[in-house]
Structure 1
Amino acid sequence: MDKDGGLAGKPVGRRVVIGVSALGALGVAFGARIESALNGVLGAISAHDPTGITSLLPGGGGFQFYNVASFLPYRSDQDYRLTIDGLVDHPTTYTLAELAALPQTTLVRDVQCVTGWRVPNTEFGGVLLSELLDRAGVKPEGKALRFTCFDDVYSESLTLAEARRPDVMVAHQMDKVPVTRDHGGPVRLYVAPMYFYKSAKWLSGITVTDRVMPGYWEQNGYDVEAWVGRSNGRTDAPIDGE
């Protein structure tokens, strides 16, 4: 989700990203009072913008924040739910507290966006995706995963083999604090060895499927398997997490 996107196989130009970023900066300058007005402006822009980018929030610590919905999604820690369903023996819905009570792990990797920016040595903490899949019991015909988000727009995908890697997690901590709303909290996906658009924000659903179902950006021309350094984008970048 943290990337500029593409349409008909072509990446969005930098000028579009910078222009939307300037609007996002206004939100910081004037505070929450103009959030609804800013969203209205962005919504008006999106009606004439084929890229699908409807807001870019200003970043901190080197991050740039992108959002393809017309609003900034929100779930409280108490209201948050993550559902695991599809081709599994035990469909399950987790609260945030229940996720935090499962075996935890941390990963420290460089975050790499397909647009070129990078944030080194970023720590994510949470539950390995393989742990959740083992608890759910994947049926023999399960071959892939589809991820959905509570913005009701974004989606992502992984093969089952990719999902079971030891550097793929469902994260609720980032740099030792809870994942913030801007960063996709309370819970987001983190796929360390791939470009950051594979690490879906505001994660709400994991569905095991019999085939790969391309996600939001893949439907707009980006690689389904977005290995850092081996997919479209910055092909000269070193491979993270491997």
Structure 2
Amino acid sequence: MSGAEEPGAPVGRRLVLGLAGLGVAGVLGGATASRKLSEWLAPAELRDPTGLLATLPLGPAFRFYSVTGSVDEVSAADYRLSVGGLVAVPATYGFDDLRALPQTSFSSDFHCVTGWTVPGVAWTGVPLRELLDLARPAAQATAVRFRSFDGTYTESLPLPVARHERTVVALGMLGGAVSHAHGGPVRMYVDGQYGYKSTKWLSAVELTEDEVPGYWEHRGYAVDGTVRA
């Protein structure tokens, strides 16, 4: 995510005040106040060099995070998604191409493996299985790998999870378009999996012979991101 602060830089006054306000909102104000404050903070301070956002009691609000610290924004008009790998029909889709495909909408909780949850998030998008059917995966393909246009992040899913009806290439969330801060204009959402499985700033979908560990799996996270009760 883009932001003004560099790694190791002093924490900006707005970030400090925002963190304090978010903590109070999470404790006292409930979902509405916390979400409003997180939306106020996100556009100007998309990076958290302190790591405090992951630890404060912010309530049911998204924390904004990128493993690269900065991600160039891509407009819907310039957006491209490639689908390839072990497929018979590789393709590239623009935003309007994706919007013309069958869509699904539902609400589901977003769970981060670090312990916070945003309940009842509204999602709209293309079921990933629609793109997989169009691509015609090869017989030896058993998994799907995802790439982000941040140039660093990757993730993967076994093919049965990738084909689940609530594994979606998301074009909308929270009642509007997927913002850049939330990983837009297009991101993944994988229902029933922790958030690290839902790749932000999605740029590529690749069919693979085996499930390839992603960014966080190389740093100790489980390859199976299923949310546990």
- Alignment TM class, shorter chain as reference: 0.7 to 0.9
Q: Which amino acid aligns with 1:112?
A: H
* Kept after mapping to 2: 8 A contact 1:77/1:186: yes
Please give the alpha-carbon distance, in whole angstroms, between the structure 2 residues aligned to 1:62 and 1:110: 11
Q: Which amino acid aligns with 1:25?
A: L
Question: Which residue matches 1:10?
Answer: none
Residue 70 of structure 1: how far off its partner (Å): 2.9
Q: Which amino acid aligns with 2:101?
A: L
Question: Which residue matches 2:94?
Answer: 95
Please give the alpha-carbon distance, in whole angstroms, between the structure 2 residues aligned to 1:75 and 1:141: 34
Structure 2 unmatched runs, 5+: 2-7, 19-39
1:25 aligns with 2:24: no
In the TM superposition, structure 1's runs of 4+ consecutive aligned residues that sit over 3 Å from their partners are: 26-29, 58-61
Deviations for 1:71-97, whole angstroms, at most 9, x for unmatched residues? 133111111000000011110000001
Please give the alpha-carbon distance, in whole angstroms, between the structure 1 residues aligned to 2:95 and 2:164: 22
Report SS of the residue matched to 1:85.
Answer: strand
Residue 67 of structure 1: how far off its partner (Å): 0.5
* Kept after mapping to 1: 8 A contact 2:60/2:116: no
* Kept after mapping to 2: 8 A contact 1:87/1:207: yes
Please give the alpha-carbon distance, in whole angstroms, between the structure 1 residues aligned to 2:227 and 2:15: 28
Residue 60 of structure 1: how far off its partner (Å): 9.8
Please give the alpha-carbon distance, in whole angstroms, between the structure 1 residues aligned to 2:63 and 2:72: 17
Report SS of the residue matched to 2:171.
Answer: strand
Residue 176 of structure 1: how far off its partner (Å): 2.4
Question: Which residue matches 1:201?
Answer: 200
Q: Determine which structure has greater relative contact order: mean sequence separation of CA pairs < 8 Å that are 6+ residues apart, divided by chain length.
A: 1
Please give the alpha-carbon distance, in whole angstroms, between the structure 1 residues aligned to 2:154 and 2:185: 17
Give the TM-score of the pair, scaled to structure 2.
Answer: 0.77
Q: Which amino acid aligns with 1:184?
A: G
1:42-53 residue pairs with structure 2 within 5 A?
A: none
Measured on the aligned residues, the alpha-carbon RMSD in Å equals 3.0
* Kept after mapping to 2: 8 A contact 1:123/1:175: yes
Give the TM-score of the pair, scaled to structure 1.
Answer: 0.73
Q: Which amino acid aligns with 1:115?
A: T
Q: Which amino acid aligns with 2:191?
A: A
Q: Which amino acid aligns with 2:193?
A: M
1:71-150 residue pairs with structure 2 within 5 A?
A: 71-150=70-149
Please give the alpha-carbon distance, in whole angstroms, between the structure 2 residues aligned to 1:86 and 1:99: 19
Residue 98 of structure 1: how far off its partner (Å): 0.6
Residue 61 of structure 1: how far off its partner (Å): 5.9
Q: Which amino acid aligns with 2:147?
A: T
* Kept after mapping to 1: 8 A contact 2:82/2:204: yes
* Kept after mapping to 2: 8 A contact 1:73/1:202: no
The aligned length equals 195
Question: Which residue matches 1:214?
Answer: 213
Please give the alpha-carbon distance, in whole angstroms, between the structure 1 residues aligned to 2:167 and 2:175: 17
Question: Which residue matches 1:172?
Answer: 171
Deviations for 1:14-34, whole angstroms, at most 9, x for unmatched residues? xxxxx99x66826977x75xx
C-alpha distance 181-61 of structure 1, shift in aligned 2 (>3 A)? farther
* Kept after mapping to 1: 8 A contact 2:60/2:119: no
Residue 107 of structure 1: how far off its partner (Å): 2.2
C-alpha distance 80-60 of structure 1, shift in aligned 2 (>3 A)? farther
Further displaced range: 179-188 or 68-77 = 68-77
Report SS of the residue matched to 2:61.
Answer: coil
Please give the alpha-carbon distance, in whole angstroms, between the structure 1 residues aligned to 2:188 and 2:147: 10
* Kept after mapping to 2: 8 A contact 1:147/1:155: yes
